């Protein structure tokens, strides 16, 4: 590859595969009865099993298997047996000196995830989604909190043994943006299906990337580098962008890439070499002798699959965009928020205007959720909010602008749109005599504009309408204002 690669005229493309680790939403850990809980006092959720004390025996968590099957059903994976292996390595955060994971028989093999890419659906294939246990957490004591200048390290084993689903994609991703869409899609699916909390900031969802670059058109992959330590989708995009550029420059200058693990540093915006990458053989995988392979009952798998909604947010966005003529980007902002799309569709079903509902959801509702940090499920709203607002616009009570104000108030207070309108006296001025008086005032105050209109410049009528809207604080019906101005000139 390097012979072609040092040619400065060659264009490069990235080949990216992602490994997403999602902590499963179980009450207890993967192989013991300790609570699976974030934020507890260090080393309080531990027992002989997850501390790896001699003689302690693991027992598989049924719920973890159920959640893994739920995911497999959603992504159309081949769901197999639950066979566990030991992955052997020495590191202080893994007290047993091995991690129980899955090796050649993952519970979910294959599968696919659809993402939005340049306004269309694009398929990313999955290699596997297997079950394993999480490690403990090291806390390096020192100025920077990092290992290189630490004076000592404390270890919290509360996380050791927490069930993880490791979702491995095929190297189907080509750009940082596709990686972002893929993670958004997975996060939504895992969240909607109640499989994981998917909080990247708290570490309940973690993403590692395998990145290589190759000349455009080449079949063979370049040497791949594993990048770790991205704790938000934003850092994932930054890290990938940096790493792709770094590798491209190395090749352009005739250098070679070494297979290694690199650490993303948020502060300096670079990846740093951590260690050379282990090969699978280094881990001496062997079947976990303390756990029997579990063959899953086909009827049980089917029962779980039957409850899994088959629609991905990306596919739903495309369907809604086609059905109602929505702008795809705007629908996309709605489908990734749990419950929001269901709400919009339910309102449309009872008569709400589709486009207005979508706009309200993607603007006022999203703004409210971002501001309060709340969720759709937590909004105390009665059914029919969008439908009511739509009819208040249709019957001339509210302008579109006032409807948005009413909605903002509805979201805060939980009152119905009609209650807000009457309490705040927000109804649009439809009383013609009142409007006529204001129109006359505005016309009287703008003789130069009137001259221009009489001289044939119709565009400036908009200015007069704006003045009337201003005088009424947006409470006038713009169509009525237009009509009244026309009739006077």
Can you give the binding site for Zn ion, defined by CB under 5 A? Answer: 32, 34, 47, 49-50
Find the Cα–Cα–Cα–Cα dihedral 460, 466, 471, 476, rounded to 10°: 120
Of 50 and 453, which has the nearer Cβ to Zn ion? 50
The Cα–Cα gap between 25 and 477 comes to 51
- From 163, 195, 197, 205, select the one nearest 29 (Cα to Cα): 163
- Paired strand residues for 208: 19
CB of 272 to Zn ion, least distance (A): 34
Is 301 in contact with 307 (CB distance < 8 Å)? no
CB of 157 to Zn ion, least distance (A): 8
- From 92, 97, 96, select the one nearest 137 (Cα to Cα): 92
CB of 296 to Zn ion, least distance (A): 24
The Cα–Cα gap between 84 and 99 comes to 10
CB of 34 to Zn ion, least distance (A): 3
Of 54 and 456, which has the nearer Cβ to Zn ion? 54
Of 41 and 148, which has the nearer Cβ to Zn ion? 41
Task: List Cβ neighbours of 265 (8 Å cut-off, separation of 6 or more).
Answer: 229, 271, 272
The Cα–Cα gap between 62 and 182 comes to 28
Is 131 in contact with 69 (CB distance < 8 Å)? no
Radius of gyration of the chain measured on its C-alpha atoms: 29
Of 27 and 488, which has the nearer Cβ to Zn ion? 27
Of 34 and 485, which has the nearer Cβ to Zn ion? 34
CB of 244 to Zn ion, least distance (A): 41
Is 362 in contact with 334 (CB distance < 8 Å)? yes
The Cα–Cα gap between 304 and 100 comes to 25
- The residue with tokens 């939403």 is 25
Strands (DSSP E) along 2-145, which ranges?
A: 12-23, 78-79, 85-88, 98-101, 108-109, 112-117, 120-133, 137-141
Of 32 and 410, which has the nearer Cβ to Zn ion? 32
- Which long-range contacts does 396-399 make (Cβ < 8 Å, 24+ apart)? 396/428, 396/430, 396/477, 397/421, 397/427, 397/428, 397/430, 398/426, 398/427, 398/428, 399/428, 399/474, 399/475, 399/476, 399/477, 399/478
CB of 285 to Zn ion, least distance (A): 23
CB of 85 to Zn ion, least distance (A): 20
Of 33 and 339, which has the nearer Cβ to Zn ion? 33
Of 51 and 376, which has the nearer Cβ to Zn ion? 51
Of 32 and 403, which has the nearer Cβ to Zn ion? 32
CB of 164 to Zn ion, least distance (A): 15
What is the SS3 assignment for 375-431? CHHHCCCCCCHHHHHHHHHHCCCCCHHHHHHHHHHHHHHCCCHHHHHHHHCCCCECC
Of 49 and 131, which has the nearer Cβ to Zn ion? 49
Strands (DSSP E) along 199-322, which ranges?
A: 205-215, 225-230, 260-265, 270-276, 286-287
Residue 211: both structure tokens together: 């990145």
The Cα–Cα gap between 205 and 197 comes to 8
- C-alpha 2, offset from chain centre: 37
CB of 40 to Zn ion, least distance (A): 12
Q: Say if strands 225-230 and 260-265 run parallel, antiparallel, or are unpaired.
A: parallel
Of 92 and 351, which has the nearer Cβ to Zn ion? 92
Of 50 and 420, which has the nearer Cβ to Zn ion? 50
User: What is the length of the chain?
Assistant: 489
Of 50 and 179, which has the nearer Cβ to Zn ion? 50
């Amino acid at each position: 590859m390097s012979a072609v690669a040092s040619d400065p005229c060659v264009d490069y493309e990235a080949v990216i595969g992602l490994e997403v680790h999602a902590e499963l939403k179980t009450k207890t850990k993967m192989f013991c009865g300790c609570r699976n809980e974030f934020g507890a006092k260090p080393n309080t959720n531990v027992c002989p099993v997850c501390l790896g004390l001699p003689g302690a025996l693991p027992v598989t968590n049924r719920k973890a298997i159920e959640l893994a099957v739920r995911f497999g059903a959603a992504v159309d994976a081949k769901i197999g047996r639950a066979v566990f292996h030991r992955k052997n390595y020495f590191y202080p955060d893994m007290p047993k000196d091995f991690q129980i994971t899955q090796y050649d028989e993952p519970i979910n093999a294959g599968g696919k995830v659809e993402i939005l890419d340049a306004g269309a659906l694009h398929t990313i294939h999955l290699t596997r989604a297997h079950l394993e246990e999480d490690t403990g957490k090291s806390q390096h004591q020192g100025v920077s909190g990092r290992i290189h200048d630490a004076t000592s390290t404390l270890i919290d084993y509360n996380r050791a043994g927490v069930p993880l689903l490791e979702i491995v994609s095929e190297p189907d991703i080509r750009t940082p943006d596709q990686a972002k869409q893929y993670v958004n899609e997975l996060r939504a699916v895992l969240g909607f299906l109640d499989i994981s909390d998917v909080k990247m900031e708290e570490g309940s969802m973690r993403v590692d990337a395998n990145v290589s670059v190759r000349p455009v058109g080449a079949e063979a992959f370049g040497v791949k580098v594993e990048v770790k330590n991205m704790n938000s989708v934003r850092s994932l995009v930054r890290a990938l962008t940096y790493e792709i550029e770094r590798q491209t420059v190395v090749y352009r200058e005739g250098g070679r890439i070494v297979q290694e693990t690199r650490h993303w540093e948020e502060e300096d915006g670079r990846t740093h070499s951590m260690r050379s990458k282990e090969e699978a053989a280094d881990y001496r995988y062997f079947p976990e002798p303390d756990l029997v392979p579990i063959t899953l009952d086909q009827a049980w798998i089917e029962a779980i699959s039957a409850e899994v909604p088959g629609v991905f947010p990306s596919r739903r966005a495309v369907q809604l965009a086609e059905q109602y003529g929505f702008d795809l980007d705007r629908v996309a902002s709605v489908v990734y928020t749990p419950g929001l799309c269901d709400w919009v569709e339910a309102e449309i079903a009872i008569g709400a205007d589709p486009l207005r509902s979508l706009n309200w959801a993607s603007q006022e509702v999203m703004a409210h959720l971002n501001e309060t940090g709340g969720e759709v499920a937590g909004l105390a709203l009665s059914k029919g909010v969008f439908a009511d607002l739509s009819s208040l616009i249709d019957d001339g009570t509210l302008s579109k602008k006032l409807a948005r104000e009413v909605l903002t108030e509805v979201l805060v207070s939980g009152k119905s749109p009609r209650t807000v309108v009457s309490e705040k006296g927000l109804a649009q001025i439809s009383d013609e005599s009142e409007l006529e008086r204001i129109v006359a005032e505005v016309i009287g105050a703008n003789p130069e504009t009137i001259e221009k209109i009489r001289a044939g410049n119709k565009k400036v009528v908009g200015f007069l309408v704006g003045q009337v809207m201003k005088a009424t604080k947006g409470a006038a019906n713009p169509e009525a204002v237009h009509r009244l101005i026309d009739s006077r000139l």
